[in-house]
Amino acid sequence: MGSWITIILLYAVVIGGLYLIVIRPQSKKKKKEESMRKNVQIGDEITTIGGISGRVVGIKEDSELIIETGTDRNKIKVKRWAIGSVDTIHDDAE
């Protein structure tokens, strides 16, 4: 009977360790990325996951952005999920 309790405790420790090492940090990163994508504003400099960088000039609906790239001001429509990073630093002094 004592060996079964030891085995169950060992499995619980392994599963708890996997949760703390793998699942929890991954969910924190996902929440941070969702927040970053949700808070994009007109005028922000962004880089897409495909490597295209530009400035946001318009927001259509809630899922699409229009960005302006290069000196010739080409406009590209991208989905919000395709934003890799926001390169503009905002003051959060509110």
The one-digit pLDDT tens for each residue of the chain (94 residues) are: 678 999 999 999 999 999 999 999 999 999 999 999 999 999 999 999 999 999 999 998 878 999 999 888 899 999 999 999 998 877 764 4
End-to-end CA separation in angstroms for the chain: 60
Buried b (16+ CB within 10 A) or exposed e, 21-54: eeeeeeeeeeeeeeeebeebeeebebebeeebeb
Instruction: Count helices and strands (H / E) in the chain.
Output: 2, 5
What pTM does this model have? 0.70
